C-alpha cells in the first residue's frame, strides 16, 4: 500500500494560519512487511527510524495498538522550509493508522485529528483535500472551505538553510491594536475574495499588503527583498513567504515564469528555484 501527500504553502500573505494551497512536491509512504518493531526506512538526516519518527508517533496517537510494520518514506518536500513537511508527515501518519487499523475515518475526522496535532489547519487541510483551503480553528471547532486556486504559476525559491517555525513565530508581536487588527483583517478578506473571483492583480496587491506576519519575518529571509524586486519588475502578481519561511513564493502569469526564474537564477542565490503547480487531489491511497 502506498500513501502520497502533497506539499503545502500556507498563509499566502494575510491568510495567516488560515489559508493554504496544496502544491506539487510529495511525501510518499509505502507500507511493507509486518515486524516486531517499527522501522521507517528513509534517507533524511537526524530523523528517527523507529517509533519516535513523527509518522509513527502520529499513527500511534490515533490508534495505540497498531501492528508494527516496515515503512518506506520518500519525500521531496524539504524540511523546515515553509512547504508543510511536518504537516505532510502528520497527515500521512493519520492515514497510516486509518489503513492499518481499518478505522474508516472521514476526511473531516482526519482534519480534526491533524489540526489538533499540528495546531493550525492551514497546512494539513490542503494536504488532505488538495486545492486551496480557507479554514478556521476557534474554540476547538474547525471550519474549512475548499476551492480551486486561480490559473496561476507558482515559482518557489527554496533556500539551502532551514528556518524553524518556532524561530519565525518568535519575531511576531504578541498583540495588535484594534485599529490595526481591523485593517489587517480587511486586507485578508480582500485577498480571499479576489482569489475566489480569479482577480489575481487585486489578489496580489492584497497578498503583498499583509499586516499580520510578513513585515516581521522578512528580515529572517535575506533573499526576500531581491526576489520580490525581480518579480515586480518582471510582471509577477505577488511575492510572499511560504508558511513560516524561508521559502519565497512568487505568483505570476504563466508567460512570465521563464524570465522570472532566469532573473532569480542570475542572482546566484544559495538555494533552488523551481516552478510548482497546484495539487488538486490531496492525499492519495493506492492499494
What letter would DSSP give residue 278?
A: B
Which residues, including other chains, have CB under 8 Å from residue 70's CB and lie 6 or more apart? 32, 33, 34, 35, 39, 41
Ligand-binding annotation for 15, yes or no, is no
Ligand-binding annotation for 135, yes or no, is no
Q: Pseudo-torsion of CA 178, 194, 110, 287, nearest 10°?
A: -160
Ligand-binding annotation for 78, yes or no, is yes
Which residues, including other chains, have CB under 8 Å from residue 55's CB and lie 6 or more apart? 29, 40, 71, 73, 89, 92, 93, 96
Ligand-binding annotation for 88, yes or no, is yes
What residues pair up with 143 in beta bridges, in sequence order? 136
Closest residue by Cα to residue 135 from 86, 201, 87: 87
Ligand-binding annotation for 79, yes or no, is yes
Ligand-binding annotation for 242, yes or no, is no
Ligand-binding annotation for 217, yes or no, is no
Ligand-binding annotation for 82, yes or no, is yes
Ligand-binding annotation for 204, yes or no, is no
Q: Are 195 and 203 in contact (CB under 8 A)?
A: yes
Which positions make up the binding site for ATP? 78-88
Which positions make up the binding site? 78-88
Amino acid at each position: 500500500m502506498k500513501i502520497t501527500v502533497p506539499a503545502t504553502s500556507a498563509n499566502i500573505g494575510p491568510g495567516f494560519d488560515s489559508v493554504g494551497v496544496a502544491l506539487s512536491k510529495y511525501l510518499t509512504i509505502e507500507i511493507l512487511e509486518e515486524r516486531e518493531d517499527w522501522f521507517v526506512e528513509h534517507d533524511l538526516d537526524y530523523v528517527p527510524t523507529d517509533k519516535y519518527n513523527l509518522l509513527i508517533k502520529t499513527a500511534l496517537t490515533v490508534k495505540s495498538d497498531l501492528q508494527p510494520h516496515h515503512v518506506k518514506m520518500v519525500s521531496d518536500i524539504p524540511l523546515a522550509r515553509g512547504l508543510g513537511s511536518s504537516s505532510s508527515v502528520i497527515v500521512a501518519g493519520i492515514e497510516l493508522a486509518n489503513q492499518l487499523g481499518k478505522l474508516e475515518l472521514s476526511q473531516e475526522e482526519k482534519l480534526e485529528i491533524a489540526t489538533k496535532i499540528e495546531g493550525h489547519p492551514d497546512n494539513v487541510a490542503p494536504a488532505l483535500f488538495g486545492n486551496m483551503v480557507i479554514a478556521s480553528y476557534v474554540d476547538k471547532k474547525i471550519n474549512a472551505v475548499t476551492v480551486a486556486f486561480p490559473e496561476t504559476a507558482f515559482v518557489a525559491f527554496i533556500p539551502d538553510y532551514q528556518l524553524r517555525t518556532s524561530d519565525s513565530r518568535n519575531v511576531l508581536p504578541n498583540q495588535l491594536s484594534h485599529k490595526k487588527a481591523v485593517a489587517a483583517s480587511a486586507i485578508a478578506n480582500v485577498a480571499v475574495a479576489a482569489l475566489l473571483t480569479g482577480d489575481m492583480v487585486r489578489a496580489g496587491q492584497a497578498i503583498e499588503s499583509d499586516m499580520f506576519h510578513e513585515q516581521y519575518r522578512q528580515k529572517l529571509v535575506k533573499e526576500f527583498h531581491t526576489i520580490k524586486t525581480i518579480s515586480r519588475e518582471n510582471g509577477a502578481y505577488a511575492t510572499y513567504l511560504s508558511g513560516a519561511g524561508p521559502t519565497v513564493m512568487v505568483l505570476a502569469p504563466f508567460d512570465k515564469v521563464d524570465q522570472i526564474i532566469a532573473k532569480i537564477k542570475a542572482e546566484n542565490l544559495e538555494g533552488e528555484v523551481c516552478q510548482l503547480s497546484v495539487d488538486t487531489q490531496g492525499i492519495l491511497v493506492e492499494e
